[in-house]
Chain A
Amino acid sequence: MMKDKLPKLLNDVVSENSYDIDVITKKLKIPWLKLDLHFERPTEQDIEYLVSDNDWRSKWNFPNREDASYQVKGWNGNIFFGPTDFKKFLDASSIDNKGHDHDEDSKCRRFRKEMEYGWCVDNDSYVRKQVKKIFPDDRDINLVNTYSLPPGGYVFPHRDYAMDGMGLAKIYVAVKWGKGNVFGMYGCGDIPIEEGDVILLNNYTLPHWVYNGSDEDRVVIDISANLHSPVIKDKIIQAFKRSFC
């Protein structure tokens, strides 16, 4: 073959180039990929459990909680897997952050190997059972939480910031997503999300916003995890090929 006569660098790239999960997720600025993954439909009881009464922004010590409160209406969340000593984690991430405003996912990625993480729910809970199908090994998980938004609720346009230069990172499961819900991504239109969809989301590159124009709660599960884990890695590559090959 002619290939034998190629310079070595060219020969190597021609014969070795393949799909690299780090290149796809960190280096490209793809706003989202729809993954061929499905969560079982939750029961009404499951949904009640996923919707939190706690104040997410207070739990995470968000700065300017009062000043920025007009930018958020009804948006809330609940942690199901994360750092077990949450105060220690917040103190460490606050020091590490050096005044930057990094998002919850990237903070959890940052301290994953330094602190103890675990589930806050029973083995047979809906969210735990569904997540374990994709990530059987807890060591691959950084954070599992829900975000809920009541009818008429919204989050203003904003951009999230990561301390580790990630792009596609957030596994976003639309467990309850009635018609009229909007997830807008600046310059890319609305993400075409339907109930049950699992999206790999890049919330770091472009401004985005959410609005619940339906007449029921909108509930999503957010997973931050090791994207080299076998199931998710295959699904990301499959989605990338479906979109670009």
Chain B
Amino acid sequence: MKSEFHIICRYKNTPPECVFSSHNSSFKRMLSHDNRLLLDLDLRHNDEIRIDFMNKDDMDDNVVLIKKILIDDIDLQHYIYHGSFTPRYNTEWYNKQNPKPPASYTPCTELRHNGVWSIGVQTPIWKMIMNKWIDDER
């Protein structure tokens, strides 16, 4: 399914490398400062989109910023804030933290550690958006 990712990266020397995946497909990409990636993710009825930040460089402090995701040409809009980030903390950094940072957190669209950002999706996407509106109890 047509999947478009608008990603901004901050870095000096180490461009971030990320794996974009669903349950049944995976694409590894080296990113630049401003990215519009067009991927053909194989998305099943109940699936998950994941972005795995692979090469955090603490000296360079490279960062991945998720700006927008479009699936099947439909903007996931504010629902990207439902995505959750599960960092793989640098052990040395982690050991110095008190209190310890959480194992995962939501919302998060700025990946400042190695780790996996993920969001559950259901296809068709238009129906998922409709059902999210229905379930929004605000």
Contact = CB atoms under 8 A, between A and B. Distances in A.
B19 to A, nearest CB: 26
B75 interface: yes
B74 A12 contact: yes
A9 B74 CA distance: 5
A166 to B, nearest CB: 15
A158 to B, nearest CB: 25
Contacts of A13: 126, 130
Interface of A: 8-9, 12-13, 16, 23, 27
Given A8-B126, A12-B74, A12-B125, 12 more contacts: A8-B74, A9-B75, A9-B125, A9-B126, A9-B129, A12-B72, A12-B124, A12-B126, A13-B126, A13-B130, A23-B134, A27-B134
Nearest to A28: B134
B126 A16 contact: yes
B61 interface: no
Nearest to A14: B126
A70 to B, nearest CB: 37
A27 to B, nearest CB: 5
Contacts of B127: 16
B73 interface: yes
A9 B72 CA distance: 9
Q: Is chain A's binding surface mostly helix, strand, loop or mixed? A: helix
The 4 nearest A-B residue pairs measured at CB: A12-B126, A8-B73, A9-B74, A8-B74
B124 to A, nearest CB: 7
Interface in B112-138: 124-127, 129-130, 134
A12 B75 CA distance: 13
A16 B74 contact: no
A169 to B, nearest CB: 17
A16 B124 contact: yes
Nearest to A22: B131
The CB with the most chain A CB atoms within 10 A, among B72, B73, B126, B134, is that of B126
B18 to A, nearest CB: 25
The CB with the most chain B CB atoms within 10 A, among A12, A16, A23, is that of A12
B121 to A, nearest CB: 14
A13 B129 CA distance: 10
10 contacts: A8-B73, A8-B126, A9-B75, A9-B125, A9-B126, A9-B129, A12-B124, A12-B126, A16-B124, A16-B126
A165 to B, nearest CB: 10
Contacts of B74: 8-9, 12
A23 B133 CA distance: 12
B60 to A, nearest CB: 37
Contacts of B134: 23, 27
Contacts of B72: 8, 12
Contacts of B73: 8
Contacts of A8: 72-74, 126
A110 B124 CA distance: 27
A30 to B, nearest CB: 15
